[in-house]
Amino acid sequence: MKKVILASTSPRRIEIMKMLGIEFEVIGSGFDERTVDLKNPKRLVEALAYEKARLVSEKNPAAIVIGADTIVVLNKRILGKPKDVAEVRRTLRELSGTRHKIITGLAVIDSAGKREFVGSIVSSVKLKNILDKEIESYIATTEPLDRAGSYAVQGVGSMFVEEIKGDFFSIVGLPINILREKLNEFGIKTIV
């Protein structure tokens, strides 16, 4: 069986990968996301996912490499990971009471088989009106400091979520259903 590599050290993506019931390695790509400057959110996450997978694939040409990237989009504006606590406050105040998009890009590269898949999944989340004291309590957990959009739908941030439309695992960071299909197409048998 071919080696499978997840080109991400994200604990959330690693947990989702484990659900597939396959052996895989984790190799962070080290890709500098600031080098990609695209305004279209879908093209951006697809390019980021692809570049992460491509870098790892170049060093592991016999493996199937998976790359992913997730962003939050509010009114056509991309909200990435916050730079600091002040940005967490601003972002959560902006997202409070809104419905916004979560877009995850997925890339699967099999260099040996000369096959690639690149795509993205768009879901939406509606947050409740978040009080300033709730924002401060949430910041104290440190969870929002490393999350696109400054909250985690699968963590403490779930307490702000009123509604989800779309693929939950894509919102978390790795669209497991599409990934399973692609891996099976590339000859990797998953648990189901």
Catalytic positions, written as ranges: 69
110: which 2 tokens? 């099999």
The two tokens of residue 95 are: 């997202």
74, two tokens: 């509010």
Please tell me the distance from the alpha carbon of residue 192 to that of residue 34, in angstroms, as a whole number.
37
Spell out where the chain has E strands.
Answer: 4-6, 25-26, 64-74, 77-79, 99-110, 115-127, 161-165
Q: Which residues pair with 178 in a beta bridge?
A: none
**Pairwise CA distance, residues 96 & 142, whole Å:** 18
Q: How many of the other CB atoms lie within 10 Å of CB of 178?
A: 19
Four-residue CA torsion sign, 64, 17, 35, 78:
positive
- Terminal-to-terminal C-alpha distance of the chain: 17
